[in-house]
Amino acid sequence: MFIFCYMYVPFVIEQTSKGERAYDIWSRLLMERIIFLGSPITDQVANTIIAQLLYLDAESREKDIYIYINSPGGSITAGLAIYDTMQYVGADLVTICIGQCASMATVLLSAGAQGKRFALPNSRIMLHQPWGGVEGTAQDIEIHAKEILRLRKIVNDILSKHTGQPVSKIEQDTQRDFFMSADEAVKYGIIDKIIFPQKESKTHKSSKK
């Protein structure tokens, strides 16, 4: 069961030959190979996402796993744990941004299988460099500063790998919060395509005829 800080978790009632069966909504989505990342990325959230990825990959490596993301980002180390697991599993990962993907959530969005990274039309995608505050001795502060720089290099290298952008450009763009629309994210290489509502998709197709 997915862990969220929601007041109420919806349940789905299904009729079976043995009677009614109730599932919380996250478990029901998991049955359809859908994982939902809809909160800040913490160690607890990362562990849950990783467990779901490993379970679905063990169930079948031939079927895609869908990861819907609406997250402001969060812990870099927790995000990297999810990222490494995404690279480890054999099944193709379809990543879909709904609402917003910021910081580490954007890294995860970009790490889907090539050609299978999407966003809804009004999604907002944001990149920035790692940040954090440290207290202690000058030596402790220096140690943590070096660690932040190391993590920044790791994240920039990952983004360069999945977007095709030079590391130098990513370093420059992430000096400050760098916001993108869905269209801009396609051009940047973070996603491959925008998913339009079905009615709107039909309109787009008709206008091209």
Mean pLDDT for the stretch of residues 3-29: 71
Where in the chain are the domains? 1-32, 35-201
State the alpha helices, DSSP H only, in the chain. 25-31, 43-59, 76-88, 104-110, 138-163, 167-173, 182-188, 198-208
> How confident is the model at residue 103, as a pLDDT?
95
Q: Of 3.30.1490.100, 1.10.3720.10, 3.90.226.10, 3.30.460.10, which CATH number belongs to 35-201?
A: 3.90.226.10
Mean pLDDT for the stretch of residues 173-183: 96
DSSP label at 115? T
> How confident is the model at residue 144, as a pLDDT?
77
Whether 103 is a known active-site residue: answer yes
Phi and psi at residue 134, in whole multiples of 5°?
Answer: -130, 135
DSSP label at 51? H
DSSP label at 41? B
**Residue 51 reports pLDDT greater than 90:** yes
- The per-residue pLDDT of the chain, averaged, comes to 88
* Cα 181 from Cα 163, distance rounded (Å): 15
Coil, helix or strand at residue 179? strand
> How confident is the model at residue 32, as a pLDDT?
95
| 3-state class percentages of the chain: helix first, strand second, coil last, to nearest 5 | 45, 25, 30
Q: Which residues contact 150 (CB under 8 A, 6 or more apart)?
A: none
Mean pLDDT for the stretch of residues 161-186: 97
High-pLDDT (> 70) share of the chain, %: 88
> How confident is the model at residue 10, as a pLDDT?
75
Mean pLDDT for the stretch of residues 74-96: 97
**Residue 206 reports pLDDT greater than 50:** no
Mean pLDDT for the stretch of residues 194-208: 64
**Residue 29 reports pLDDT greater than 80:** yes
Catalytic residue among 17, 60, 75, 103: 103
* Cα 111 from Cα 22, distance rounded (Å): 33
* 8 A C-beta contact, residue 49 and residue 81: no
**Residue 194 reports pLDDT greater than 60:** yes
Tell me which residue of 152, 20, 138 sits closest to 79, measured CA to CA: 152
* Cα 113 from Cα 87, distance rounded (Å): 9
Catalytic residue among 39, 71, 110, 128: 128
- Go through 42-61 and write b for each residue having 16 or more CB atoms within 10 A of its CB, e for each that does not: eeebbebbbebbeebbeeee
> How confident is the model at residue 4, as a pLDDT?
46
